[in-house]
């Protein structure tokens, strides 16, 4: 089955700096890669996603890149703000896999003033 590894497990940045979280996946059939943000005590919420026919996608301060050959995808947050502090999860799934999302282990991002 699919296995998703995520690094780092914790990340501390100064406000205004950039943050990068990296994930690798094992199943080359995976074709959908969402990123979720989970604030303390809340539900995971989608912040951005990318499909395998696209190499990069941006939404304001957030971008995701995908390297299918290397089976890597990354989340980039620029101009970080204190409200970006949360746990971020990457995930992977593929058509025909029962729509199952396999999650990475999460990254605790702390944005310090």
Q: Which of the stretches 14-22, 54-62, 76-84, 91-99 binds another protein when contact is defined by CB under 8 A? A: 91-99
**Cβ atoms 73, 89 nearer than 8 A:** no
Distance of CA 22 to the CA centre of its chain: 7
CA-CA distances (angstroms) from residue 56 to 59, 75, 94? 10, 10, 18
* 25 scored as a contact of another protein (CB under 8 A): no
- Confirm or reject binding of residue 62 to another protein (CB under 8 A): no
CB 33 to another protein: min, Å: 11
Answer for which of 80, 89, 109, 111 binds another protein (CB under 8 A) is: 89
SS3 state of residue 55: coil
Q: Residues 88, 109: contact at Cβ < 8 Å?
A: yes
Instruction: By CB under 8 A, name the one of 42, 55, 61, 112 that touches another protein.
Output: 42
User: Which spans of this chain sit near another protein (rule: CB under 8 A)?
Assistant: 31-32, 34, 38, 42-46, 49, 87, 89, 93-95, 97-103, 105-106
């Amino acid at each position: 089955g699919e296995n998703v590894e995520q690094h780092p497990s914790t990340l501390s940045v100064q406000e205004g700096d950039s943050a990068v979280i990296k994930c690798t996946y094992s199943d080359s059939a995976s074709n959908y890669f969402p990123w979720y943000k989970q604030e303390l005590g809340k539900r995971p919420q989608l912040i951005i996603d990318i499909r395998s026919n696209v190499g990069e996608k941006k939404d304001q301060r957030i971008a995701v890149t995908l390297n299918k050959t290397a089976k890597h995808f990354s989340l980039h947050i620029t101009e970080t703000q204190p409200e970006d502090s949360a746990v971020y999860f990457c995930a992977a799934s593929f058509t025909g896999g029962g729509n199952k999302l396999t999650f990475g282990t999460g990254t605790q991002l702390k944005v310090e003033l």
